[in-house]
Amino acid sequence: MEHAEFLSILEELSTSEDNTTHFSEAWSQGRSAFGGLAAAFAVTAMRKMIAEDIPMRTLMVSFIAPLPPGKIKARASIQRQGRNVTQMVGEVFSDGRLCLHALGVFGIDRPGLTVEAESIEPPSRDIGITFSDYRKRLPSFLSFFDGRWTSDGLPYSGKAARELNFWVRHKNPLEQFAAEKLVALADIPPPVILSHFQKPLIPSSSLTWNLEFVMTPDSIPGDWFYLEFVVDAANNGYTQQSGKIYTEQGQLCALTRQCMVYFDTLRSPTTP
């Protein structure tokens, strides 16, 4: 399955009796799998245990150890299943070692007050820098996506930006993996503070990640998404950033927040 696409990797896991699949180094960043792929493994394992008509509402992830390329095993369990909400645990292993722990909350629709999320008018998809034009400074897994960076916060651009915005879509359709489709896209942004540096590489990785679905995954239209991310703070080797994910029409469909770690032991930011 060398250089397998996102779809075929998840299909193997979805149909596997022992909840295993494989991925290649093309999906890695440094020593570990792209976090969006690793988290999708846990989501697929959880979804195999719950009715298809109960959508995911929230995903909380702890990245415990690097997940190297090769064979992985995912495991899921139901912690509590109530009348409306089911809470689950998903875990991902490599050679018997726990690499990722996730909590997933699934829930049916219920009557209630409606407060519409604010929508936006995204910029044209014709502006900005394509992923392929900036690949030399970015991880190889981006080759599985189409996209354009639309703001100044590009990694290693030497610009002290606080924001990173871009368009993105999977190159292959993923109708049968609606939740995993957005999980992967939502984890594409690197630490926004990497824009403060001029030269790679500043090692960095996610510690924890929270993703909330404003729209249920199966109700989100289209394949293109517009993402807006902002760095909230950075200090002592840790950084916090949050983001909003919009449909092509500008509807808010998900919210995300991450705590990341970065190792700047050899280099200094562009500003003194």
Domain ranges of the chain: 6-108+118-262
Helix or strand holding residue 77 (H, E)? strand 70-81
CATH of domain 6-108+118-262: 2.40.160.210
Identify the bridge partners of residue 148 per DSSP, sorted by sequence position: 130, 167
What phi and psi values does residue 64 have, to the nearest 5 degrees?
A: -90, -40
pLDDT value for 135: 66
* Mean predicted confidence (pLDDT) in 17-28: 94
* Mean predicted confidence (pLDDT) in 169-180: 92
- Rounded to 10°, the helix 35-47/6-15 angle is 30
* Mean predicted confidence (pLDDT) in 207-228: 96
The tokens of 164 are what?
Answer: 């990173």
Tell me: the pLDDT tens digits for 110-123?
Answer: 888 889 899 999 99
* Mean predicted confidence (pLDDT) in 36-51: 97
- Rounded to 10°, the helix 35-47/178-186 angle is 160
Tell me: the pLDDT tens digits for 232-257?
Answer: 998 888 999 999 999 999 999 999 99
The tokens of 171 are what?
Answer: 């190159």
Give the three-state DSSP class for 248: coil
* pTM (two decimals): 0.92
Average pLDDT of the chain? 91
pLDDT value for 2: 45
pLDDT value for 3: 53
The DSSP secondary structure of 130-144, one letter per residue, reads: EGGGGGGGS-GGGGG
pLDDT value for 137: 65
180 with 43: CB under 8 angstroms? yes
- Structure confidence at residue 186 as a pLDDT band (50, 70, 90): very high
26-29 long-range contacts, CB within 8 A, separation 24+: 26/2, 26/140, 26/141, 26/143, 26/144, 27/69, 27/140, 27/141, 27/144, 28/68, 28/69, 28/139, 28/140, 28/141, 29/139, 29/140, 29/141
Span of 4-13, 132-141, 259-268 with lowest mean pLDDT:
259-268
pLDDT value for 270: 45
Tell which wins on pLDDT, 266 or 212.
212
